[in-house]
Amino acid sequence: MKPRVLVTRKVYPAALAILQEDCVVDYHDAYEVLSPERLQRKLQHAHGVVCQLTDRLDAAALAAAPNLRAIAQIAVGYDNIDVAAATARRIAVTNTPGVLTEATADLTFALLLATARRLPAAERFLHSGAWQRWDIDLWCGADVHGRTLGLVGFGRIGQAVARRAQGFGMRVLYSSRNRAEPALEAELRAQHVPLDLLLAQSDFVSVHVPGGAATRHLIGVEQVCRMKRTAFLINTARGSVVDEAALIAALEEGLLAGAGLDVFEQEPQVPEALRRLPNVVLLPHIGSAVTSVRSLMCALAARDCAAVLRGERPQHLVNPEVFA
Ligand code: NAP
Ligand code: GLV
C-alpha cells in the first residue's frame, strides 16, 4: 500500500509530481491555513506531511497522527514544529536550508538599504504627486557605505549578508555561540565579538538566528538600549527573536534611528503602533520569495518526505536521532 502524504497548503507543482510517484497525496490546494482541528483530522491517516511555517505541528497535533513518520517543512526555520515531540515519536523532521540563502541575504540587504535611505516613503511621496522640486534635504537618509554592520547569528544567511557588506566597504562584526573558522573570518573580514559590544558599535544590527525558545527576545529592552541612537535594527530571521514592544517603545522615544522588519511576533498581525511609525520599513515575510527558490524549496521538501517514507535518510534531517 502506498503511503499517504498530507500537503497542508498550496505548493509549487514540482512538489506534487515528486510525491505522486510513490505516495497517495492529500492536497489541500488552498492558501488558507488549516485550523488545528482540521489539521489534526487530516493527520490521522497521514504517514507524511509537507508543511509550511504557518502550520502549527505541536505535541497535540502529533498525538493525533499515529502513523506519521515524516514532517517535511518548506522553510529553513522550523520553530512551528515541536521537534522534541516528533523525535520522541520517531518522526523525522526535515527542512530546506541552502537553496534560499542567497535570496534571503539579497532581501536583507535590500531592506537595510531601503530603511537607511527611506526608499518606500520617498517613493510614496512621488506617487502621491507631492514632489515639487529638488531640495537640499529632500528625503535625506543615513549612509550605508563604510558603516559598521553587526550580524547576530553567523550561519548560512548571516555569512551571505557579510559577503554583500564587503561590496559596501562595511566593517563587519558578528556574534554567535560558536566562533567561525579563522579562514572564514579572514575571507569575510568579520570579527567575532560579544553581543553587547556588537550592539554598542554597530550602525546596522541584522538578526540571523533561528526562532524558538532559545532565542526568544534575544534582542529585548536591554539590548535595544545598548544600540546607538543613530543605529538601525534589521530583522529577517523570526519575529520572536526581537521583543516587538521594546522595539516600538525605543523607536517612539527616538532611541533608535529606524528598523527594517520582514518578520513579526504574531504574523500576519503587525501592531498598529509599528505601522504608524515613519522610520520603519515593513515587509510581509518575503525573505526567500523568489519564484525559482520557492519552487526548489517545495521540491526539496517533497523529495525528503518521500525518502523518509521509503526508509531512506533524507538530505536535510533536523533530528538525526531518529535515524540513529
Ligand atoms: P543557520 O545556518 O543554522 O544559522 C543560524 C545561526 O544562528 C548560526 O550562526 C548559529 O550559530 C546561530 N544560533 C543558533 N542558535 C542560537 C542561539 N540560541 N543563540 C545565538 N545564536 C544562535 O541558519 P540560516 O540558514 O542562516 O537561517 C537563519 C534563520 O533565518 C532561519 O532559522 C529562519 O528562521 C530565518 N529565515 C527567514 C527567512 C525569511 O523569509 N525572512 C528566510 C530564510 C530564513 P551558533 O550555533 O554558533 O550560535
Ligand atoms: C522562512 O522564513 C524560512 O525559514 O525559510
Confidence of residue 324 (pLDDT cuts 50, 70, 90): confident
Confidence of residue 150 (pLDDT cuts 50, 70, 90): very high
What pLDDT digit, counting tens, does each position of 162-199 carry? 999 999 999 999 999 999 999 999 999 999 999 999 99
Beta strands in 52-141 (DSSP E): 70-73, 92-94
Query: Residue holding cell 511609525?
Result: 277
Confidence of residue 200 (pLDDT cuts 50, 70, 90): very high
List active site positions: 238, 267, 285
Do 231 and 186 lie in one domain? The reply is: yes
Structural domain span for residue 230? 101-282
Contacts for 85 with CB less than 8 Å, ≥ 6 apart: 58, 59, 62
In whole angstroms, give the CA distance from residue 83 to residue 63: 13
- Residues 61-79: what's their mean pLDDT? 98
How buried is residue 33: exposed, middle or buried, by Cβ count under 10 Å (0-12/13-18/19+)?
Answer: middle
Do 92 and 82 lie in one domain? The reply is: yes
Do 130 and 212 lie in one domain? The reply is: yes
Angle, CA of 9, 15 and 16, to the nearest 5°: 80
Residue nearest to atom 2 of ligand 1 (CA): 155
Ligand with smallest separation from the Cα of 52: 2
The CB of 77 under 6 Å from ligand 2? The reply is: yes
Beta pairing, strands 190-192 & 92-94: unpaired
Model's pTM, two decimal places?
A: 0.98
Q: For the domain that residue 81 is a member of, what is the CATH number? A: 3.40.50.720
pLDDT at 154 exceeding the cut of 90: yes
Residue 172: C-alpha distances to residues 13, 89, 105 (Å):
40, 42, 15
Q: Do you know the residue count of the chain?
A: 324
How buried is residue 209: exposed, middle or buried, by Cβ count under 10 Å (0-12/13-18/19+)?
Answer: buried
Q: What is the pLDDT of residue 209?
A: 98
Do 123 and 145 lie in one domain? The reply is: yes
Residue 170 Rama label (left phi>0; alpha psi -120 to 50; beta): beta
- As a whole number, the mean pLDDT across the chain is 98
Contacts for 128 with CB less than 8 Å, ≥ 6 apart: none
Do 144 and 265 lie in one domain? The reply is: yes
DSSP conformational letter for 203: S
Distance (angstroms) between ligand 1 centre and the Cα of 146 equals: 25
Do 72 and 201 lie in one domain? The reply is: no
What pLDDT digit, counting tens, does each position of 242-283 carry? 999 999 999 999 999 999 999 999 999 999 999 999 999 999
How buried is residue 176: exposed, middle or buried, by Cβ count under 10 Å (0-12/13-18/19+)?
Answer: middle
Do 61 and 208 lie in one domain? The reply is: no
Distance (angstroms) between ligand 2 centre and the Cα of 140 equals: 33
Q: Of 42, 52, 55, 46, which is closest to residue 72 (Cα–Cα)?
A: 52
What pLDDT digit, counting tens, does each position of 103-117 carry? 999 999 999 999 999
- Residues 77-86: what's their mean pLDDT? 98
Do 57 and 127 lie in one domain? The reply is: no
Residue 107 C-alpha cell reads as 532581501
Q: What is the pLDDT of residue 312?
A: 98
In whole angstroms, give the CA distance from residue 193 to residue 304: 37
What pLDDT digit, counting tens, does each position of 131-144 carry? 999 999 999 999 99
Do 26 and 170 lie in one domain? The reply is: no
Best residue among 11, 51, 53, 300 to mutate for probing ligand 2, ranked by most atoms within 8 Å of CB: 53
Which residues have C-beta atoms less than 6 Å from ligand 1?
76-77, 97, 100-101, 104, 153-158, 176-178, 208-211, 214-215, 236-238, 262-263, 285, 287-288
Best residue among 79, 100, 157 to mutate for probing ligand 1, ranked by most atoms within 8 Å of CB: 157
Residue nearest to atom 17 of ligand 1 (CA): 215
How buried is residue 289: exposed, middle or buried, by Cβ count under 10 Å (0-12/13-18/19+)?
Answer: middle
Q: What is the pLDDT of residue 140?
A: 98
Atom of ligand 2 nearest to the CA of 95: 5
Distance (angstroms) between ligand 1 centre and the Cα of 210 equals: 4
Atom of ligand 1 nearest to the CA of 176: 48
Helix (H) / strand (E) element for 298: namely helix 291-309
Domain count across the chain? 2
Do 71 and 49 lie in one domain? The reply is: yes
Do 85 and 129 lie in one domain? The reply is: no
Do 186 and 44 lie in one domain? The reply is: no
Residue nearest to atom 5 of ligand 2 (CA): 75
